[in-house]
């Protein structure tokens, strides 16, 4: 009797676990059904339109293209060896910076409407649940056979038939369990001095056996490759053996498809989250410089002054050289006056160069 009670408790535990995998209640779903619902549930409403996460997410390539162009503009500034080209290069860079900032901001405006972390957590929990619950069916990661929707439809059709079949076995198990509970209640009353109950002990063994057979039969029908712990109806075992190949194919394909889709989307969301973090950091940096950029008009005006001053200085130096050779060429000017003029222009030019350097430093700090 002790042995049978141990078997009974073991079967009860296994039935409880198995019914979670294949629930038959109208409002209950199997873990695979819930997983498929999660995969199909990856939709959000953006601008009153229902879209999947992938459909709703802006193209990363468009953002990266603008950032690549911005980097090229910055490299051109750093590598520029002609100061007269710098103003145009900086202006090009400022335009590229504004474009990169805007495309990243547009990207983030959309992504901030997406519950990325919540969705990612749901997928990870589901992956762990399926991997644990269907451990024997999990295969190395890889593409599933056929389209996922075909696999899911096939699973649901198979599950409908299996659920209908399981309900009859559940009913038989539940009835046997009720009989056993009733017997236990009678036994409890029989062991009371104040009770007139006439408990018949000979029913005990047959009731235990009936419950064991009912539960083990349900387990054989429910679980793949389950080896019953008590002898069962050979016809049921034969029929079950014939069903196993199709069931194994359906479940394996479904588990594979669910895990493939879930892992693929989880990877996509992790990458999306990484892009969002990266773009937000760049937005924070660029935003500081958008309205705090060097005045290119001042630099351009200054460079024109430098050209004019250098030109005048060159002419004065030529005049000085000619005047030193032939004083009559100086006209009203003396050599000393000419040298003073040259010194004045040299001082102006030095001041212009100093101011230009300050402008260039500010420009380069923005690159």
Distance CA 86, CA 84 (A): 6
pTM: 0.65
Q: How many CB atoms lie within 10 A of CB 202?
A: 7
Q: Which pLDDT belongs to residue 287?
A: 84
pLDDT mean over 147-158: 91
Measure the CA–CA gap between 266 and 260, rounded to whole angstroms: 10
Residue 366 has pLDDT above 60, yes or no: no
* Greater pLDDT, 70 or 57: 70
Could you give the residue ranges of the DSSP H alpha helices within 112-191?
116-133, 148-190
Closest CA to 97 of 294, 282, 362: 282
The pLDDT value recorded for residue 360 is 67
- The reported pLDDT for the residue numbered 245 is 86
- Helix, strand, or coil (residue 274): helix
Instruction: Name the H helices within 193-233.
Output: 202-222
pLDDT at 231 over 80: yes
pLDDT band at 189 (very low <50, low <70, confident <90, very high): confident
pLDDT of residue 260: 92
Predicted local distance difference test score (pLDDT) of residue 255: 93
Residue linked to tokens 């389209």: 147
Expressed in angstroms, the distance from the first to the final Cα of the chain is: 86
Kindly report the average pLDDT of the chain as a whole number: 84
How far is residue 210's CA from residue 173's CA, in Å, rounded to a whole number?
Answer: 9
Stated as kind and residue range, the H or E segment containing 52 is: strand 49-52
């Amino acid at each position: 009797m002790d042995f049978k009670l141990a078997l009974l408790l073991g079967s009860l535990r296994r039935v409880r676990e198995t019914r979670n995998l294949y629930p038959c209640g109208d409002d209950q779903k199997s873990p695979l059904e819930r997983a498929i619902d999660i995969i199909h549930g990856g939709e959000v409403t953006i601008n009153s339109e229902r879209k999947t996460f992938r459909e709703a997410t802006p193209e990363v390539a468009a953002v990266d293209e603008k950032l690549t162009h911005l980097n090229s503009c910055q490299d051109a500034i750093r590598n520029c060896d002609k100061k007269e080209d710098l103003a145009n290069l900086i202006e090009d860079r400022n335009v590229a910076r504004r474009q990169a900032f805007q495309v990243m901001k547009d990207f983030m405006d959309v992504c901030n409407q997406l519950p990325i972390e919540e969705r990612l957590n749901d997928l990870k929990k589901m992956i762990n649940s399926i991997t644990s619950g269907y451990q024997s069916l999990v295969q190395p990661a890889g593409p599933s056979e056929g389209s996922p929707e075909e696999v899911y439809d096939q699973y649901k059709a198979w599950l409908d038939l299996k659920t209908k079949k399981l309900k009859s076995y559940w009913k038989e198990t539940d009835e046997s369990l009720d009989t056993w509970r009733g017997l236990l209640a009678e036994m409890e009353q029989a062991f009371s001095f104040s009770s007139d109950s006439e408990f018949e002990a000979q029913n005990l063994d047959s009731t235990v056996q009936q419950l064991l057979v009912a539960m083990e039969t349900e387990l054989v029908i429910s679980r793949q490759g389950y080896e019953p712990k008590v002898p069962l109806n050979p016809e049921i075992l034969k029929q079950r053996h014939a069903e196993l190949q199709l069931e194994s194919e359906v479940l394996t394909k479904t588990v594979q498809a669910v895990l493939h889709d879930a892992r693929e989307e989880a990877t996509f969301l992790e990458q999306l989250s990484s892009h969002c973090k990266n773009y937000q950091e760049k937005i924070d940096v660029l935003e500081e410089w958008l309205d705090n950029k060097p005045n290119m008009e001042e630099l351009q005006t200054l460079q024109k002054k430098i050209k004019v001053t250098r030109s005048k200085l060159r002419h004065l130096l030529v005049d000085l050289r000619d005047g030193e050779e032939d004083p009559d060429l100086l006209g009203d000017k003396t050599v000393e006056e000419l040298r003073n003029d040259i010194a004045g222009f040299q001082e102006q030019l030095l001041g212009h160069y100093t101011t230009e350097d300050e402008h260039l430093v500010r420009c380069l700090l923005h690159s």
